[in-house]
């Protein structure tokens, strides 16, 4: 009986030791993960190929901007977490601390720079007017009396206002949160046209043969995109250094080839 009891106690002690070893290993692993810095990134995942979700295959947010932020985050030792937020809510999310940085093909403007800081420009683009082929909209003057879709709080919204004011063209800028919604309105005939960044517009033109588009002539002025930070953030300098490394090493050009079929600007 004593022999059996001794064996039983030995088994219990060994099991406890093994359990303790197992818990220690798990704790150590989870601890190292928990100690890693988390970078919460805000984006509006409706802007293919910059940031979007390929819903047919995954719920993951992918795109040019996402590859950039993941590369920089990894090199700076961050665990990157991406949040999908309506474009017009991105800067408020940055201001209230919901996110640490914003990358969403965002253009630095004097108005935005009043409340947030920006990195150096990492990509330049232009803008297009997109409409149905049978609409006969071929110049900005043809927007007279039309309903024109723009993304809310975007540089294209500002551009629409500038066109109406400077060119004295009377049209109504219709603002929506998401780019796919704008194209749905064009398809339904509720919008006559839309002002869209050219890289994004070209993707829709390829997929919708009943659409046509033309670039807006802005002379030498192009729309630059940058990463946004909370005002006075210490992250800005670190990210600029990493962006420069990506440019100098050719890494940024590789991503442009990957996402834009080699079209550099």
Whether 161 contacts 173, CB under 8 Å: yes
Could you list the mean pLDDT of each consecutive 10-residue stretch along the chain, which spans 265 residues?
A: 40 42 36 72 97 93 98 97 98 97 96 97 95 96 98 96 96 97 97 96 95 86 88 97 98 96 50
- 133 & 206 share domain: yes
CA 171 to centroid of chain Cα atoms: 29
pLDDT computed for residue 261 by the predictor: 75
Whether 49 contacts 259, CB under 8 Å: yes
Q: Cis before residue 206, ω within 30 degrees of 0?
A: no
Tokens found for residue 23? 């818990």
26 within domain boundaries: no
Helix 64-75, helix 251-260: angle, nearest 10: 150
pLDDT computed for residue 218 by the predictor: 72
Number of compact structural domains in the chain: 2
Domain extent, residue 179, equals 127-215
pLDDT computed for residue 127 by the predictor: 95
pTM of structure: 0.82
- 209 & 231 share domain: no
CA distance readout (Å), 188 to 36, 128, 183, 242: 48, 20, 9, 44
108 within domain boundaries: yes
């Amino acid at each position: 009986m004593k022999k059996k009891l001794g064996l039983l106690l030995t088994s219990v002690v060994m099991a406890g030791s093994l359990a303790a070893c197992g818990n220690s290993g798990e704790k150590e692993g989870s601890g190292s993960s928990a100690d890693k810095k988390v970078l919460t990134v805000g984006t509006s995942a409706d802007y293919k190929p910059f940031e979007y979700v390929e819903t047919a295959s995954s719920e993951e947010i992918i795109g040019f901007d996402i590859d950039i932020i993941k590369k920089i985050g990894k090199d700076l030792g961050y665990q990157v977490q991406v949040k999908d937020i309506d474009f017009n809510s991105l800067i408020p999310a940055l201001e209230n601390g919901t996110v640490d940085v914003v990358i969403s093909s965002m253009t630095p403007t004097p108005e935005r720079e009043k409340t947030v800081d920006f990195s150096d420009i990492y990509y330049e683009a232009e803008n297009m007017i997109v409409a149905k082929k049978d609409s006969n909209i071929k110049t900005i003057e043809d927007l007279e009396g039309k309903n024109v879709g723009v993304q809310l709080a975007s540089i294209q919204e500002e551009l629409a206002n500038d066109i109406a004011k400077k060119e004295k063209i009377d049209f109504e800028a219709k603002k929506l949160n998401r780019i796919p919604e704008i194209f749905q309105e064009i398809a339904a005939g509720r919008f006559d046209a839309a002002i869209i960044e050219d890289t994004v517009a070209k993707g829709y033109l390829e997929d919708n043969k009943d659409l046509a588009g033309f670039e807006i002539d802005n002379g030498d002025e192009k729309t630059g995109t940058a990463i946004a930070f909370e005002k006075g953030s210490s992250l800005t300098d670190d990210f600029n250094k990493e962006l420069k490394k990506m440019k100098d090493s050719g890494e940024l050009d590789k991503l442009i080839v990957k996402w834009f079929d080699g079209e550099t600007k």
